[in-house]
């Protein structure tokens, strides 16, 4: 199962924890690249989602009832959870996030192989639930790092994010109202240690190449396509790079190209 990904999730969360644990209370109100969200909103969102994930694992009926309410207005429902958490004193918010992620880890580690949990999208296995939480933790951690002017060194944990991005190809096309290509793609990414992460048939005509870090940043929509070292060969592969996303739900706002963002700040 997913013991390795559970361990990676713990490490990813701990890395983000070190970024925020020593912040002065005022720094938690610093804006991040996500419009309207401060550092506090980012951590509050992770804490909120960890608690919902734990509910899905430990109380399926309770989660099902909540999911019905969320389905009516999922975007505002999620944002409301982040806003409420961001209103807490930073110390209380940090403690809540730590408690929630520890509870989720304990719950997932105790699950037998083969079990699946209801979620806001398709049902999730233990490994897929942990992988999704790792992806979100890394993505929102990138927002926090950007707000603090910190560059985080990429790690092998990005493999989980890249794999989600590749596996979600057809979903990414569908949420943009486009049919998914019939043929498989080849994706070759240079890992942080210089090795190759390869997905899909080696002889595929449609190909995507680049660095794993930049592909992951693109897939979680934290960078504009113009600002990443990711390249496509083939019309369908090129179209994918314009819609790729590693998360469920609507695509949301895209980040502007770096030059455009800088021009906007100057103006």
What is the average pLDDT across 110-139? 93
Q: How far apart are CA 67 and CA 81, in angstroms?
A: 14
Residue 117: strand, helix, or coil? strand
Q: For residue 75, is pLDDT > 80?
A: no
Per-residue pLDDT at 260: 61
Domain chopping of the chain, boundaries? 3-136, 158-241
Complete DSSP assignment for 7-31: HHHHHHHHHHHHHHTT--GGGGG-B
How many C-beta atoms lie closer than 10 Å to residue 35's C-beta?
8
Q: How far apart are CA 48 and CA 197, in angstroms?
A: 32
Q: How far apart are CA 39 and CA 71, in angstroms?
A: 26
Rounded (5°) CA angle 130-132-133: 65
Read off the tokens for 87: 């209103």
Indicate the DSSP class of residue 38.
Answer: B
Residue 186: strand, helix, or coil? strand
pLDDT more than 90, % of the chain? 83
Confidence (pTM): 0.92
Average pLDDT over the chain, rounded to an integer: 92
* Span 216-249, pLDDT tens digits: 999 999 999 999 999 999 999 999 999 999 988 7
Q: Give how far the C-alpha of residue 95 lies from the chain's centroid of Cα atoms, to the nearest Å.
A: 22
Question: Do 241 and 158 form a contact (C-beta atoms < 8 A)?
Answer: no
CA distances from 54 to 98, 101, 154 (A): 13, 8, 28
* Span 148-202, pLDDT tens digits: 999 999 999 999 999 999 999 999 999 999 999 999 999 999 999 999 999 999 9
Q: For residue 118, is pLDDT > 70?
A: yes
Task: Using pLDDT thresholds of 50, 70 and 90, give the confidence band for residue 74.
Answer: low
Fold of the domain spanning 3-136:
1.20.120
Per-residue pLDDT at 73: 72
Q: How far apart are CA 85 and CA 46, in angstroms?
A: 10
What is the average pLDDT across 33-55? 96
Question: Do 211 and 190 form a contact (C-beta atoms < 8 A)?
Answer: yes
Number of H helices, E strands in the chain: 11, 6
Per-residue pLDDT at 154: 97
Indicate the DSSP class of residue 90.
Answer: H
Locate the DSSP E strands across 110-235: 116-117, 124-125, 186-190, 196-199, 207-211, 230-233
Per-residue pLDDT at 16: 98
Buried b (16+ CB within 10 A) or exposed e, 100-119: bbebbbebbeebeeeeebeb
What is the average pLDDT across 53-74? 87
Q: How would you class 130 by CB atoms within 10 Å of its CB: exposed for 0-12, middle for 13-18, buried for 19 or more?
A: buried
Q: For residue 40, is pLDDT > 70?
A: yes
């Amino acid at each position: 199962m997913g013991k390795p990904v559970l361990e990676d999730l713990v490490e990813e969360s701990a890395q983000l924890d070190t970024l925020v644990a020593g912040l002065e209370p005022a720094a938690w109100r610093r804006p991040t690249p996500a419009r309207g969200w401060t550092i506090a909103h980012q951590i509050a969102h992770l804490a909120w989602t960890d608690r919902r994930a734990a509910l899905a694992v430990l109380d399926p009926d309770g989660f099902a009832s909540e999911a019905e309410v969320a389905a009516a207005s999922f975007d505002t429902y999620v944002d409301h959870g982040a806003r409420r958490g961001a209103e807490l004193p930073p110390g209380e918010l940090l403690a809540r996030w730590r408690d929630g992620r520890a509870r989720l880890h304990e719950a997932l580690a105790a699950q037998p192989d083969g079990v699946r949990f209801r979620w806001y999208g398709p049902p999730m296995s233990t490994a897929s639930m942990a992988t999704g939480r790792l992806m979100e933790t890394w993505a929102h951690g990138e927002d926090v790092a950007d707000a603090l002017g910190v560059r985080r060194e990429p790690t092998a944990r990005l493999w989980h994010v890249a794999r989600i991005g590749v596996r979600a190809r057809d979903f990414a096309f569908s949420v943009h109202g486009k049919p998914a290509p019939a043929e498989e793609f080849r994706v070759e990414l240079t890992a942080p240690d210089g090795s190759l992460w390869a997905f899909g048939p080696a002889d595929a005509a449609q190909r995507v190449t680049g660095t794993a870090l930049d592909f992951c940043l693109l897939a979680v929509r934290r960078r504009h396509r113009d600002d990443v070292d990711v390249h496509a060969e083939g019309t369908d592969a090129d179209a994918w790079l314009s819609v790729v996303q590693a998360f469920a739900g609507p695509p949301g706002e895209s980040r502007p190209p770096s030059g455009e963002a800088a021009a906007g700040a100057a103006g």
